[in-house]
Amino acid sequence: MREREANELAAKASRPTNPRQKHSLKAKRLCKQEKHGALPRLLDLSHNGVMECAAVVRWCGCASDGHPILPLMPQMAVVRGSFLYLFAADGDLLPTTRALSSISLFGATITTVPHYYDERMPTLHHLIHLRLTSAWHGRLTLYLQLRSEAQMRSWASDLGPPPEISPRPPGDRPKIASIAPRSTGARPP
């Protein structure tokens, strides 16, 4: 028993304390698990059966000019720490169901888009725009569509840092904002 405790303490002491190193190590481990189909189970992502943040979302990629690439694909999304895990949205979701993919959200830029209007596509509502840059996925930009504006705001606050109330210095942009992407204009509600 003492040998096991000593091994656990040694493993804990060897873990990095720098958040960037910690997340990159976990991302590498998850990448290796994803190749072998051994991502965490739904049960492993919960705290006593309760998820940090979970919902069926519709998501799509983003083109180089900033507009969503349709169609939107439904998937069950679960957030644990700074990772987003994607599960199949159809069929039975059992506690032993393994995640299909995982995305590191560490350092992501998160923007809420209540109404997205572009003349080339139908109006989209309740979007979260995620811009990720990591060694694991490279540059990844995607949109998550949620069911309501309240759910969109709740997810945005859970995924990113809370919006600051204090005034910001000029030129320093907030990470969470209620704006439309630069390539299109927001249509008034």
Residue 51 lies in a domain: yes
Q: What angle do CA 112, 114, 120 make, to 5 degrees?
A: 105
pLDDT at 165 exceeding the cut of 50: no
Write 41-45 long-range contacts (CB < 8 A, 24+): 41/95, 41/96, 41/97, 41/98, 41/99, 42/78, 42/87, 42/93, 42/94, 42/95, 42/96, 42/97, 42/98, 42/99, 43/95, 43/96, 45/78, 45/80, 45/85, 45/99
Domain CATH number, residue 76: 2.30.29.30
Place 1 in a pLDDT band, splitting at 50, 70 and 90: low
pLDDT at 136 exceeding the cut of 70: no
* Overall domain count for the chain: 1
Residue 2 lies in a domain: no
CA gap 97, 84 in Å, rounded: 15
pLDDT reported for residue 37? 78
pLDDT at 168 exceeding the cut of 80: no
Full residue range of the structural domain in which residue 74 is found: 41-159
pLDDT at 180 exceeding the cut of 60: no
pLDDT at 105 exceeding the cut of 50: yes
Place 9 in a pLDDT band, splitting at 50, 70 and 90: confident
Residue 33 lies in a domain: no
Region 3-27: mean pLDDT is 76
pLDDT at 85 exceeding the cut of 80: yes
Region 134-163: mean pLDDT is 79
Residue 165 lies in a domain: no
Residue 136 lies in a domain: yes
Residue 1 lies in a domain: no
Closest among 185, 114, 176, 101 to 140, alpha carbons compared: 101
Residue 17 lies in a domain: no
Residue 92 lies in a domain: yes
DSSP tag of 43: G
pLDDT at 87 exceeding the cut of 60: yes
Average pLDDT, the chain: 76
pLDDT reported for residue 55? 87
